[in-house]
Amino acid sequence: MATQQHTTPPRGPTDKPWVLLVEDEPSISKVVGKLLDEEGYDHESIADHAQIAAAIARRPPRCIILDSDPGSSGHERSWADAAAIRRAHPELPVLMFTADPGSIAEARAGTSARSKAAGYAGVIDKPFLVVEFLATLKHAVDTPRGPGRRDNRGIAAEAISMFPELGGPAAATWGVADFFSVAVHELRTPLTSIDGQTQLAQRFIAKEPLRAAEALARVREQTKRMNRLITDLLDQARVSVGALSLEVATFDLGVATAITIGLNEHEDVPRITFTTPASVRIQGDPERIAQVLGNLLDNAIKYSAPGSPIDVALIVAGNEAQIRVTDHGVGVPDDERDRVFAPFYRTSRTREISGTGLGLHISRRIAEQHHGRLWLESSSDAGSVFVVALPLAEERRGR
């Protein structure tokens, strides 16, 4: 955190008030960005809390809107971040931006040690009402702020730790620690976008129908996202208690894989190659196995450049069939490789691409329910190899 303090209201290249938004969810950044444009603010949006100090140093803002949601990458550190900002820049207002009722109540009451240290200038809850959002922001930007206060026990704001390390134990386990609150956060995220975009559409509908239509297109995108999430949450609920029912049949995995590939290839030019021995029969639920393959293919397609090749190979190794899906996409950073199978975990490289973070977790449980396995065999920034292994049908074993 830079220690220099600005005493005059900062001015950027334009005379518009400059607002820094810290928000890791692209759809929410987008809707807030549109609102700020409309209201004559200049703004920058960053996803990573570790970049806050650098962003302030680059161009001191008139206000910071700081997300603080369970499940978001910054949740564990938002209070400390707000306190650190307040210490280094006492006159810079920070607004809490959250869907977490506990944090809202604590910040509004302002009586806990950490809320005193954070000294939020206001709270915006998600989903937000546009008029309230803008009024809170305007109030924060227009009201001069004094230096950090001490609380009545004489504890200085400086006692709060500054910018704890991302990737610490809390960050590593949030995905499993509080599944319910993360699920609620994940559902509220598209809802916040839907609500914001609907309000934008209402504002534009008479004077700028094209912009209203654009906002409504985003509403549809987010509605689809919510629907996907609900489907995945239902599957996750079933797999987590082992209650996923399987309609078991003996079938040819090569044929089933070819069909799933066909369903996943939408472009005119085929980009997925498939190699398979003559016949590989397994016993299992063809629908659920297709779901696992579909998830691996969907990821391989989503997380690589359009048109880059994807190779699928079906092989027999001992008593099992293995399907290996190789892509040449963004890959998974080394220190995140184990975590991609945890519920809701999404890597730092894929934030901009829509996903629920549940597919691999569900797929692994489905493979396990078939007495099989699913793992990430290798990954670099040149691509990944995911492998699913399933036991061969009894009839084929020992041949």
Q: Which chain residues interact with ligand ADP by CB under 6 A?
A: 295, 299-300, 303, 327, 329-332, 340, 345-347, 350, 355-361, 384
328 vs 396 by CB, closer to ligand ADP: 328
175 vs 254 by CB, closer to ligand ADP: 175
Query: What are the angstrom distances between the C-alpha of 285 and each of 142, 252, 344?
Result: 62, 12, 25
CB of 377 to ligand ADP, least distance (A): 11
Instruction: Assess contact for 2 and 56: CB atoms under 8 A.
Output: yes
* Helix count and strand count (H, E) for the chain: 12, 12
Query: What are the angstrom distances between the C-alpha of 142 and each of 92, 138, 264, 385?
Result: 11, 6, 52, 53
134 vs 171 by CB, closer to ligand ADP: 171
Q: In what order do the strands lie in the sheet with 94-98?
A: 42-46, 18-22, 63-67, 94-98, 122-125
124 vs 330 by CB, closer to ligand ADP: 330
Per DSSP, the three-state class of 246 is coil
CA torsion 364-368-371-373 (nearest 10°) is 30
ω before 127 within 30° of 0 (cis)? yes
Task: Supply φ then ψ for residue 113, to 5 degrees.
Answer: -60, -40
251 vs 375 by CB, closer to ligand ADP: 375
Q: In what order do the strands lie in the sheet with 383-391?
A: 272-275, 310-317, 320-327, 383-391, 373-380
59 vs 238 by CB, closer to ligand ADP: 238
208 vs 267 by CB, closer to ligand ADP: 267
CA distance 324 to 50: 36
Sign of the dihedral defined by the CA atoms of residues 375, 377, 380, 384, in that order: negative
